[in-house]
Structure 1
Amino acid sequence: MKVLVIRFSSMGDIIYTTPVVRCLKKQLPDAEVHFITKPAFKYIYDNNPYVDKLLLLKPELSDTIKDIKAEQYDYIIDLHNNLRTTLIKLRTGIKSSTYKKQTIRKWLSLKLKLKLVPPVHLVDRYMKTVQFLGVKNDDQPIDYYIKAEHQLDKLLPVSHQQSFVAFVIGATHFTKRMPNEKIISLCKEINAPIVLLGGNDVKENGDIIASALGNKVYNACGVTSLDESIYLVSKAEKIIGFDTGLTHIAEAFKRPIVSIWGGTVPELLGVQPYKVKEVLVAGIELSCRPCSKFGLATCPLGHFNCMRQIPEVPITQFVNNN
């Protein structure tokens, strides 16, 4: 049997496909399991032992369809369910099973502020697509495989090499990020060295936070590569982060996680931390929340209370508790 699993984007959505691929390969050991995604997300499946071949989406869909036809798959497992994957299934004629997005329910939940989407994790919804093959969820965390050998003494100052808390301060959209002053307030109450993680887009934020807190905080934003950042997350005592890819990848390393949510909510997306034993999901109930499904550039009402008013004590107690 030869199976192609499809998910083109984004980082968080792809990382949650890894249990599906693992269960397919382990429970159908004679099957050949391939995965296709965009080139930008290739790194998520690099080194993954459960994938026999990794295909990449080409600029012209017709070229991708040719590649897929040439492989002569028995089944397509469509975990994206968009126009492109629909065209792929139609033009190849390969038997398929498709993830149900619940688009209308999600839209109504967002617009009417009603909880119309069942609180089922994205992984569990993905797993339904392979039930017809007799594949069941193994109830294990997501998979991520660090690409290279790294050393803490090459990445962190001596003060942070023995034990540290990783704080992922980056996120694609403003309404997913906590304001600098709120992060500073939290960090003041954390009884451990702190490493700030994120890309170049939040390096300046990290500098502001680090300058306010002195040597307690090391700003690695824009300094470490993605693989190095993931390595640091894997070595952290505990992790604090927002609704962003690096926070979701952190779930692979069995570390306690604080998952902080502002304008977005985990139940709408089904992406709360998966199979993490020690987790705190932080967010507050507001009539205006969620304001969007994936995040916005500004708070629509200007107050940003969804982040500013999150209670700090439960977060700092969780982090400080041994």
Structure 2
Amino acid sequence: MASPVNILILQFASIGNVVLTSPVVRCLKQQLPNAVIHFCTKADYQPLVLHNPYISGRHYLDGNIVELIRTLRAQKFDYVIDLQHTFTSRLIRTALGVQSFSVKKQSFRNWLYVYFKVNALSEQHIVDRYLATVQPLGIENDGRGLDYFIPYKDEVEFDWLPATHQNDYVAFAIGGQHVTRRLPLPRMIELCRKINYPIILLGDKNDRKVGNAIVKAIGERQIYNACGYFNINQSASILKRARLVFSHDTGLMHIAAAFRKKVYSIWGSSTPQFGFYPYKTPHVRLEAAELGCRPCSATGADECPMKHFKCMNTLSFDFDVKELRTKKKNFE
């Protein structure tokens, strides 16, 4: 019997980035004989990897990197796959001292695009760049897209939701790590009115105030504010049952893609050209593509550097949601 091949994957960046690594995890496990996959991420992201059946070992960074490295060394890994390529991940793989493979970043090209609007990006989705990282091990893209695994205890039951939203609804992920990646409140209200269908708002407790304002403006018959009420796996369960999904550029957008939902993705200061658009799922990009000041950031900021925030304030909602056309509802 061949010896196991112990592989460690590193990714600490965000919820979305962890979800976007799932094809690498699956392909390594299924295509490399005797692969034993370990995953290392932030402690906050434990629910994202805890129930993945392709992962055998899970390790979490919770402030003490020295203790983490000591724990990882004891596993005697054969390979380290660094899918973040930052100071922290470089420190860990250097300390482990085994053969490693690191994702090729586009930092200089990103800089050119943000500051000089010169788009020299590779047009390659980040998932494909992740998978290119493990090609030296003989791994190929199986074309199956993203994975997300929800434990049974976190599957949201119908009666956990209001009667108006139990059987058929649109999910709207209203959160976003930075202000310039989120629609302003009046524009969220405008979008919800256009959708004119039962909507479940998703986000964390920090988004609840905005969600309440949307409910106040439109009414509980159409809007259910679930922000802060459900954990990440329960929110994933709500996405899984949604007719379709509207989302800012967030982790929930990528979780929706894992369930092959049609996603209407909303883009402000950043752009899909950075390679983080919904992967292998039908999607519509809502963006003010003609603005010369975009992108002003690859990751987002706390305010518009030009002070006008035109990327979100002038974003057109002149589109047809064909999936709702035959079942349009009037909440007036």
Structure 2 length-normalised TM: 0.92
The corresponding residue for 1:224 is 230
**Please, which of 150, 154, 157 is the counterpart of residue 162 of structure 2?**
157
* Residue matched to 1:105: 109
RMSD over aligned CA atoms reads 1.5
The residue number in structure 1 matching 2:255 is 249
CA distance in 2, matches of 1:91, 1:256: 42
Q: Are the equivalent residues in 2 in contact too, given 1:25–1:32 (CA < 8 A)?
A: yes
Distance 1:197 1:319 in 2: 20
Give the SS at the match of 2:59: strand
- Is it true that 1:179 corresponds to 2:190 in the alignment? no
Amino acid in the other structure paired with 2:253: T
Contact 1:167–1:197 (CA<8 Å) still a contact in 2? yes
2:243 equivalent in structure 1: 237
Describe the shift of the 1:186–1:92 C-alpha distance in structure 2 as closer, same or farther (beyond 3 A).
Answer: closer
Counterpart of 1:53 (choices 53, 57, 79) is 57
In structure 1, distance between residues paired with 2:287 and 2:201 = 21
- The 8 Å contact of residues 9 and 41 in structure 1, kept in 2 or not, is answered as no
Call closer, same or farther: CA 1:74–1:150 in 2, change over 3 Å.
closer
Q: What residue ranges of structure 2 are gaps of 5+ in the alignment?
A: 327-332
Distance 1:93 1:157 in 2: 54
Within 5 A, what are the aligned runs for 1:1-322? Answer: 1-147=5-151, 148-214=153-219, 215-268=221-274, 270-276=275-281, 278-285=282-289, 286-314=291-319, 316-321=320-325
Q: Is the 8 A contact 2:196 2:222 kept in 1?
A: no
- Letter of the 1:306 partner, please give it: C
CA distance in 2, matches of 1:301, 1:181: 20
Give secondary structure in 1 for the equivalent of 2:74: helix
TM-score (structure 1 length as normaliser): 0.95
Cα distance between partner residues in 2 of 1:113 and 1:18: 31
Aligned partner of 2:213: which letter? Answer: I
SS in 2 for 1:263: coil
Cα shift readout 1:185-241 (whole Å, capped 9, x = no counterpart): 222222421111111212111111111111111111122222221111111000000
How many angstroms apart in 1 are the aligned matches of 2:13 and 2:145? Answer: 20
Are the equivalent residues in 2 in contact too, given 1:5–1:36 (CA < 8 A)?
A: yes
> Distance in 1 between the 2:233 and 2:154 partners?
10
Alpha carbons 2:47, 2:232 under 8 Å: kept: no
Deviation at 1:149, TM superposition (A): 4.1
In 1, Cα distance between equivalents of 2:231 and 2:93: 36
2-structure distance, mates of 1:87, 1:221: 36
Change (3 A) 1:199 1:89: closer
Residue identity (%): 38
**DSSP 3-state at the match of 1:108:** helix
Unaligned runs of at least 5 residues, structure 1: none
Give 1:241's aligned amino acid. S
One-letter amino acid of the counterpart of residue 200, structure 1: K
Shift of 1:82: 1.4
1:44 aligns to what SS in structure 2? helix
3-state SS in 2 of match to 1:139 = coil
Structure 1 residue ranges, 4+ long, deviating more than 4 angstroms after superposition: none
Q: CA deviation at 1:16?
A: 0.7
Determine the C-alpha separation between the residues in 2 that align with 1:318 and 1:176: 25
Distance 1:260 1:319, change over 3 A: farther
Q: Distance in 2 between matches of 1:297 and 1:140?
A: 36
Report the CA distance shift for 1:58/1:297 in structure 2 as closer, same or farther (over 3 A). closer
Separation in 2, partners of 1:60, 1:131: 32
Whole-angstrom CA distance in 1 between matches of 2:311 and 2:323: 21
